[in-house]
Structure 1
Amino acid sequence: MAMKVEVVSTESIKPSSPTPSHLRNFKFCLLDQLAPPFYIPVVLFYSAPDDKAARNCASVTGNLKTSLSQALSLFYPLGGRVKGNASVDCNDEGALYLEAKAHFELSEVLSNPDINQLQQFLPFCPYRVGPNIEEQVIVGVQATLFDCGGIGIGICISHKIADGASVSAFLSAWSEIAINGIDGEAGLITPFLKASELFQPEDINFQMPSGVISSEKLSTKRFRFDGKSLARLRARFGSASPTRVEAVTALIWKSAVEAARKRLERNENYPPSSAATHVVNIRSRVRPHPLPENALGNLWHSIVAPLMEPNKGYELQDFAGILRKSIRAVDAEYLNALQGEMALAKACESLMAARKLVAASASVGEIELYRFSSWARFPFYEVDFGWGRPSWVCTTSVPMKNVVILMGTERGDGIEAWITLAEHDMIEFESDDELLQFVAPSPQL
C-alpha cells in the first residue's frame, strides 16, 4: 500500500534569542572540514496516546516550534548558514520546519517498514549535494501527524558541523526544553563549542572522492539483532569478548565478503580482497580532559582495518581481531598527533587509504571496501517531548555502496543494522547461513 505524506506548511524557526556579535563567526575544526557535505538523517516515531483526544495538534506543534527555537539558542551555530569550508555565519536565519499530514495509521509504518518510503518523513533528501550548499539550512525538521494521533519527527543536520552524537545531543536538549522549558535541565546540557581550539582548522577545500555516490543499483535492508542473539553471537568468540558492535561488525563484514565471493565465482572472477572502515567517537578518548558527549562537531575518526586477502580461510574471530586492533589504535597518543603540527597529514591518513581502496575497487573490481558507523549507544530512545519514549527510531537508505549503520533498539540491548549493498550482493547476503543464525525476527512495534 502506498503511504503518502502531504506537507501542509513550511516556515523558518529562528533562535529565541539573538546570537551575540562576538559569536557570529563559528569556526569549523579540522575534522569538520574533512566531513562529507551531506546531512545526518534520523526519524523518531511516537505512538498515539491511549486517549487520542488528549493530544491537541495545535498545542503539540506550537510547543515543538517554541522549544526548537529555544534549543537553537543553546546550539546557536545550528541556526546559521555554512560559509564554504571554514565556518558558520551564525546569522540566526534559523531552521527549516515543515508540518505534514500522513493520512494513514502509524501502525502501517511500524508493523512492516518500507525503507524506500521512510525518506518522506524527512524535510528533504539528506544526500543532496549542490553548488550552493553554503546557502542551505543547517537544520531541517519535519513533524508528521498521523490520522491515529501518532507523530513522526524527522530531522536532518548538516554533517559539516555535526556527527551522530551531536544530533543525539541536540534532540535531547530540544525534548528537555519541550517538557521543562529553557530554564530547566536543558541549561545543564549546553554543548561544548570549542572543538576548533583543539583540532585547529587548515586552509583546505574538501572534495568528495569520486565513486562515493554509487551508480549501481543498490538495496538497503534492516537486520535486527536482539539481546539474546547478540549474547549467542558474542559467545561464539570465546575469551576474545568483543563488544556488541565489534561482534556485529565482524559478522556483517564476513557475510558481505562471502556474498561478493559467490557472485564473482559465478562470473568466473577471482574472489575479492576486502577492507573495512569504522567510525570511532573520540570524545571520551581525548586526554588529559575527555570531551562531553554533547560536544558539537565532527568528533570522530574513521579507521581503516587492513586488507583481508581472499582464499586464506579467515574465521569470524579474525575479522573481529583486526577490527579491534585498528579501533584501539585511536588512543591518546594518536589524538595528540591530530592536535599537533602534522595534524592535517595525520587526519588524512585513513581518508587517503580509503580513497585508494575505492579507486582500486572501481578500476579493477578486486577490493570490496565496507564502511561501518555505529549509533547504537546514542540515547535516541530517551528523547521524550512529553509523549513518552519513541516507539521506533530509524535512519533511511543511503546512495552509497557497502555502507552499514548500526542503530540501537527500544529495549537498549539490541542492534538494528541498516545495510546497503549492491542489489546482486544483497540477494546472496540475506541468505547467508551464518548471518541468519543470529538475525532476530522484527517485533511488532
Structure 2
Amino acid sequence: MAMKVEVVSTETIKPSSPTPSHLRNFKLCLLDQLAPPFYLPVILFYSSPNDKVAPNSASVTGHLKTSLSQALSLFYPLGGRVKGDAAIDCNDEGALYLEAKAHFELSEVLSNPDINQLQQFLPFSSYRVAPNIEKQVIVGIQANFFDCGGIGIGICICHKIADAASVSAFLTAWSEIALNGIDGEASLITPFLKASELFQPKDINFQMPYGKGVISEEKLSTKMFRFDGESLARLKARFGSATPTRIEAVTALIWKSAVEVARKRPEWNEKYPPSSAATHVVNIRSRMRPQPLPENALGNLWQITVAPLVDANKGVELQEFAGILRKSIRAIDGEYLSVLQGERGLAKAYESLMAPLKLAASSAGKMELYGFSSWARFPFYEVDFGWGRPAWVCTPGYPIQNMVFLTGTRCGDGIEAWITLTEHDMIEFERDNELLQFVSPSP
C-alpha cells in the first residue's frame, strides 16, 4: 500500500510585526549572489507525544503558526521576496504554510526511508528554478500529521539567502519561540544579518551555470547508508596516526568505494582508469578572522574546495584519500578569506565555484567528480517544538549524479550518507566489500 500524504490547507504566514522601513531593502552578500536559485530541504519527524496535547489539534496547529510568525519577524528577510540579483525586498509577504494528513504510521517512514516518498513531506520540489524568482516565496513549510499522532515538519528555504547553517538557525529560533515565547529570549536567537558588510555585493554581469547539465540523462538511484558510532570508531582506527574527523573518514571511504566502482565500467580499463576529484562544501563562519562569525549568521557563508586524485593509474589507499581531502579543506584559511573579502573577492569566489567544472573539462571526459556536503554538525536534533527531540531528521537533497549529503544521527555520534549514483553504479557500490565493513544495518 502506497504512503499517501494529502494537503488539507494552504495559507500564507506573515511576520508578527512589520519590518521597519529602513530595513526593507536587505542586501545580499557576494556569496549569496553566486548561490544557486534552488531550495534547501529539511524534514524533521517527531514521534507521538503521548503525554502532550493531541498533535493534530487546532491548538498545536495554531501554536506552530503563531511561533512561525514571530520567528519570521526576527529573520525578517525570509518573509520577503528576492529582488533582482543583489537584494531582498523585506515586504512581509510571508511564508507558505501547508497542512497535510499522512494516512499511515510514522514507523513506516522510519523503518524504510525512501527518497521518492520523502519528497511528499515537503511543500514543493526543492529543485525548482522559476523563470521569475521574485514571485516565489523564500520559505515554504508543510506540517504533516500522521495517523499515529506523529508529526513531520518539512521546510524549504531559498538558497539565495540561506545555507544549511542558516536553515538550522531558523528552525532553532522557531522552536525556541514555540517552547519559551519570544519575550526575554530574543537576544539569544536573533540572527546575525550583516554578511553583506563582510562580503560586499558586486555588479555581476554573467550567468552561473546552475541548473544546466547537473541533471543526469542516465537513470539515477539515491540511497541512504548509515554509519553508527561504533563503526565510525573502527573506520577511524584504519587511518592510524592520521586521526581524521568522522566527516573526513566517511568522505574518504565513500569516495574510494565510488572510484573502485567507476573503474569497473566497460569504458575504462587498467591502462586508462578514470581520474577523480571530490568537492566539499566548507562552512566559513568559524574560519573568519580576526573574529569568527556566529553559527546563526544568515547567508551563504561557505566555499567549495576541490580535492583532486592526481595519479589515476595508481592504487590509492584510504589514508591518501583522507590526506588529499584534508589538505584541500585547510586551504580555506584566514588568508583565503581575506582575499574573498577584498577587491578580488568576486574573482576568488567565482574561481572556487568554477574549479570543479574546469578540472572536469581539462580531463576531456576522463574524470569522475564527486560532490560532498556535510550537515552533520548542525543541531537539527535539538529542534524541539514541545514534542521532544526529533526521532529522525533528513534532507532529500537534489537529483544530481555523484552527489553525497552527510547528516547526523539522533544519538549524535553517527552519520547518515545520502548517495546519488547512476543505477548501474549503485548496484556495484552496494556490493563494495570495504564499504560494507562499516555500514550499519537498517533499524
Q: Secondary structure at the match of 1:232?
A: helix
User: Structure 1 stretch 415-424 or stretch 185-194: which is displaced more?
Assistant: 185-194
Q: 1:196 to 1:397 in 2, by over 3 A?
A: closer
TM-score (norm 2): 0.97
- Check conservation: 1:264, 1:270, Cα contact below 8 A: no
C-alpha distance in structure 1 between counterparts of 2:268 and 2:218, whole Å: 19
What residue number does 2:280 align with? 278
- Check conservation: 1:176, 1:186, Cα contact below 8 A: no
2:417 alignment partner AA: A
What residue number does 2:227 align with? 225
- Check conservation: 2:126, 2:156, Cα contact below 8 A: yes
**Where does structure 1 differ by over 4 angstroms across 4 or more consecutive aligned residues?**
51-54, 265-269, 358-361
C-alpha distance in structure 2 between counterparts of 1:407 and 1:177, whole Å: 25
Residue 70 of structure 1, CA deviation = 0.2
Equivalence map 1:286-301=2 (5 Å): 286-301=288-303
1:120 alignment partner AA: Q
Q: 1:17 to 1:2 in 2, by over 3 A?
A: same
Q: 1:131 to 1:175 in 2, by over 3 A?
A: same
1:234 alignment partner AA: K
Q: 1:332 to 1:140 in 2, by over 3 A?
A: same
Counterpart among 324, 329, 332 of residue 330 in structure 1: 332
User: Structure 1 stretch 405-414 or stretch 102-111: which is displaced more?
Assistant: 102-111
Residue 269 of structure 1, CA deviation = 8.9
Residue 307 of structure 1, CA deviation = 3.6
What residue number does 2:218 align with? 216
C-alpha distance in structure 2 between counterparts of 1:184 and 1:415, whole Å: 35
TM-score (norm 1): 0.96
Equivalence map 1:114-125=2 (5 Å): 114-125=114-125
C-alpha distance in structure 1 between counterparts of 2:272 and 2:115, whole Å: 33
2:336 alignment partner AA: Y
C-alpha distance in structure 2 between counterparts of 1:134 and 1:212, whole Å: 23
C-alpha distance in structure 2 between counterparts of 1:322 and 1:39, whole Å: 30
Residue 40 of structure 1, CA deviation = 0.3
What residue number does 1:162 align with? 162
What residue number does 1:247 align with? 249
C-alpha distance in structure 2 between counterparts of 1:267 and 1:326, whole Å: 28
1:391 alignment partner AA: A
Instruction: State how many pairs are aligned.
Output: 441
Q: 1:399 to 1:312 in 2, by over 3 A?
A: same
C-alpha distance in structure 2 between counterparts of 1:145 and 1:89, whole Å: 33
User: Structure 1 stretch 2-11 or stretch 109-118: which is displaced more?
Assistant: 109-118
Residue 314 of structure 1, CA deviation = 0.8
- Check conservation: 1:10, 1:97, Cα contact below 8 A: yes
- Gap regions ≥5 residues in structure 1: none
Q: Secondary structure at the match of 2:306?
A: strand
Two-structure CA RMSD over aligned residues (Å): 1.6
C-alpha distance in structure 1 between counterparts of 2:315 and 2:309, whole Å: 14
- Gap regions ≥5 residues in structure 2: none
What residue number does 1:380 align with? 380
What residue number does 2:95 align with? 95
Residue 264 of structure 1, CA deviation = 3.6
- Check conservation: 1:83, 1:134, Cα contact below 8 A: yes
C-alpha distance in structure 2 between counterparts of 1:434 and 1:373, whole Å: 22
Measured against aligned partners, the alpha-carbon deviations of 1:213-263 in whole angstroms (never above 9, x if no partner) come to 222211100000000000000000000000000000000000011111112
Q: Secondary structure at the match of 1:137?
A: coil
Residue 53 of structure 1, CA deviation = 6.0
What residue number does 1:182 align with? 182
2:195 alignment partner AA: A
